[in-house]
Amino acid sequence: MSKTTEKVRKTLARRYRAERRFKAFGIVSIVIGLSALLLLFGDIIGKGHSAFFEHYVELSITYDPETLEIEDANDPEQLRYGNFEGVVRAAIQERFPRVEERQDRRALNALLSTSAGYELRDRLEADPSLLGQKETLWLQLDDDADMFLKGSEKQRENARLSPQQREWVLDLEAAGETRSEFNRSLFTSGDSREPEQAGILGAILGSVFTMLVTLALSFPIGIAAAIYLEEFAPKNRFTDFIEVNINNLAAVPSIIFGLLGLAIFLSWFGMPRSVPLVGGIVLTLMTLPTVIISSRAAIKAVPPSIREAAMGLGASKMQVVLHHVLPLAMPGMLTGAIIGMAQALGETAPLLMIGMVAFIVELPTGPLSAATVLPVQIFLWAGSPEQSFVALTSAAIMVLLAFLIAMNTLAVVLRKRLERRW
């Protein structure tokens, strides 16, 4: 046996051990990462799943013209000022006829959501012939009563209901006059301060408009900048300086872009506050570096042989770029753009400065109407005192996560399908 082999033999076991240890470290880090993710998801889903359902109560409603103070259901003016809450109150008091004290009646009325009256108004508006008629309807319960019904034994003890109210709700539950339904308003309405009426559609639309503006601006600008810097720009100190700056910009805290937006777009250009257009422009500034850097990487990855072959056939520089390099680099550029968009979708800090952290009930109709975005909605709900908003916050986080996962999946799929190996 030679000396070297002997030496190797001696250290072999130790080297194997080192390798096993190294692998074990890797596995442990992955397990830590995964369990953190599981914990996060478990917590969010555990808190948020109940928000996707809400409780309704069955009541027999009489559209009494006298209580409503409506003579003609076709008159929009009368409809607007109709006393629909009075009708709802009459209905629940009819269900519990023995409640007579003023205070008690107030407590009883408080079990129903204020949305009940608005629903009756909408129904009467849609069908004026209902005036004077009777109808059995499922109406929304107030968030406190809803929380009570959703809660476990222990949670019920802590619910914000008086003993009397508990009795009434339990009575309704026992009689089968309450039921749990999918929370439609969560996906069909804008923000509200009543948890049972609050929805995220407004925030989703706001996010969509903001993202459209960001995409429409950052994609063309980013690609044009990347192509110029990569294919046409001379390599000198000035372009080096630009490159360093782009890389630096990618690391600037996002709130700075918000301050910039406030100073330039709102104060100088006099653009309106709280609109997705400004939000989109600010987020464009934030995502541009990401888009440029990833686009440049994609262009760099196109082999020089392609360019040389095209040149050899007599193509001009511009033809080489537009006909050959750009189509081949496109999948990588798209991936970069989508990841940049996903990053922008989760951003709140820059929007704070330009007034998009706001309570907005109306659904936005375009990039110029006041809107907020999903992460801001989550932030606002997380700070609300009503307990039901805890579940709503988690539900909104789930929706945001779903969007982010969808976008990132799209990026992966695009890369896999369009990618070409050389």
Partner 1 sequence: MNVKMKASIVGAAAALALATAPATAIARDTISIVGSSTVYPFATVVAERFGRASGQPTPKIESTGSGGGMKIFCQGVGENTPDITNASRRMKTSEFELCQKNGVKDITEVQIGYDGLALANSVKGQDMDITLRDLYLALAKDVPDPKGGEKLVPNPYKTWKDVNPALPNIKIEVIGPPPTSGTRDSFNELGVEGGCKTFDWLKAMKGQDKDKYKAVCRSIREDGAYIEAGENDNLIIQKLESTPDALGAFGYSFLDQNRGGVKAVKINGVEPDMNTISSGDYPMSRSMFFYVKKAHVGVVPGIEGYIKEFTSERAWGEEGYLVDKGLIPSHKDERKKWAKNAAALNSMTGKEL
d(CA 250, CA 257): 11
d(CA 305, CA 335): 24
Site string for partner 1, 96-115 (x = CB under 8 A): ----------x---x-----
Site string for partner 1, 220-259 (x = CB under 8 A): xx--------------------------------------
Residue 192 in the binding site for partner 1 (CB under 8 A)? yes
Of 26, 132, 303, 327, which one interacts with partner 1 (CB under 8 A)?
Answer: 327
Closer residue to partner 1, CB minimum distance, 370 or 404: 370
Closer residue to partner 1, CB minimum distance, 242 or 330: 330
The nearest distance, CB 216 to partner 1, in angstroms, is 5
The nearest distance, CB 4 to partner 1, in angstroms, is 59
Report the half-sphere exposure of 200 (CA within 13 A, side-chain side): 26
Q: Retrieve residue 323's tokens.
A: 């006909």
Closer residue to partner 1, CB minimum distance, 240 or 362: 362
Of 322, 405, 406, 412, which one interacts with partner 1 (CB under 8 A)?
Answer: 322
Site string for partner 1, 33-62 (x = CB under 8 A): ------------------------------
Q: Read off φ and ψ for residue 151, nearest 5 degrees.
A: -70, 160
List Cβ neighbours of 256 (8 Å cut-off, separation of 6 or more).
350
Of 123, 166, 273, 415, which one interacts with partner 1 (CB under 8 A)?
Answer: 273
Site string for partner 1, 343-382 (x = CB under 8 A): ------------x-xxxxxx----xx-x---------x-x
d(CA 142, CA 150): 12
Instruction: Classify residue 393 by burial, with Cβ atoms within 10 Å: 0-12, 13-18, 19+.
Output: buried
The nearest distance, CB 240 to partner 1, in angstroms, is 27
**What is the three-class DSSP state of 399?**
helix
The sign of the CA dihedral 397, 398, 399, 405 is positive
Q: Are 323 and 239 in contact (CB under 8 A)?
A: no
Give the range of 4-12, 175-183, 213-221, 247-255 binding partner 1 by CB under 8 A. 213-221
Q: Retrieve residue 6's tokens.
A: 């002997």
CA dihedral 216, 218, 221, 222 (to 10 degrees): -140
The nearest distance, CB 303 to partner 1, in angstroms, is 19
Closer residue to partner 1, CB minimum distance, 227 or 399: 227
**Start-to-end Cα distance in the chain:** 47
Q: Please choose, from the candidates 153, 50, 116, the residue with its C-alpha nearest in 3D space to the C-alpha of residue 387.
A: 50
Of 50, 140, 207, 274, which one interacts with partner 1 (CB under 8 A)?
Answer: 274
Site string for partner 1, 330-349 (x = CB under 8 A): x-------------------
Q: Are 131 and 146 in contact (CB under 8 A)?
A: no
The nearest distance, CB 246 to partner 1, in angstroms, is 19
**What is the three-class DSSP state of 369?**
coil
Of 219, 290, 291, 347, which one interacts with partner 1 (CB under 8 A)?
Answer: 219
